[in-house]
Each structure stands twice: as structure tokens, then as C-alpha cells.
Amino acid sequence: DAGVIQSPRHEVTEMGQEVTLRCKPISGHDYLFWYRQTMMRGLELLIYFNNNVPIDDSGMPEDRFSAKMPNASFSTLKIQPSEPRDSAVYFCASSRTVNTEAFFGQGTRLTVV
């Protein structure tokens, strides 16, 4: 398996634009997580899915953020409209079950100017 795949690796966009980040989890993993990493706050969980169903989105900072998982092999994190303070590295991770290793993608570095 190629691991967790995220795209794009880098995204630069203007304030107010819509941004969509994509993730393909490892096949067979039932859990998918979206994290955000900043220098100030470190790694924060935004939302996670179990069998494509959102379980906990309490980490989503604002209504501007939304995440979907239409099937077991694809998830998106959308920011609309984007703001400069959304600039961060966004990681997607997946795991087989609740208590097994979480595998992370390479991340998407988002810069909103």
C-alpha cells in the first residue's frame, strides 16, 4: 500500500477563495482523521470519521471549515472562504481500528495570502 495520500502538497491561495484538500486513506482502514499543525498550537485534531461517518467535529474551528467522506477511499477538507490565519500544514491520517497505529500522510502546506 502506498500509505495515506494527500493532495495537493502545497497550496497558495488568496484570502476569500475556496480551498479543498484531499486525502486517500490506507485501504482497509476504518478511521480517518484530519489534523492541523501550526507553530503556535502544534497538532490539533479537526475531525474524524469512522466508516465514512463523521464522529467528532468539535475541533473544526469555524463554519468555514467542512469535511466529507463520500466513500471509504476518499475524503475532503474544504475551507470557504479562506483566511490568512488558516495558513498551516493539514494532515490526514488513517487507522484500522480505534487502538491501532495511526498512519499519516505527507500533509498539505496551505498558505493564504
Contacting positions for another protein (CB under 8 A): 4, 31, 33, 42-45, 48, 50, 55-56, 91, 93, 95, 98-107, 109
Joined together, the cell numbers standing for residue 58 give 468539535
Q: Would you say 17 or 100 has its CB closer to another protein?
A: 100
Cβ neighbours of residue 94 under 8 Å, at least 6 residues apart? Answer: 4, 25, 26, 29, 31, 32, 33, 102, 103
Q: Would you say 45 or 72 has its CB closer to another protein?
A: 45
Q: Would you say 15 or 43 has its CB closer to another protein?
A: 43
With 0-12 / 13-18 / 19 or more C-beta atoms within 10 angstroms meaning exposed / middle / buried, residue 98 is exposed
User: To the nearest whole angstrom, how small is the minimum distance from the Cβ of residue 97 to another protein?
Assistant: 9
User: To the nearest whole angstrom, how small is the minimum distance from the Cβ of residue 111 to another protein?
Assistant: 13
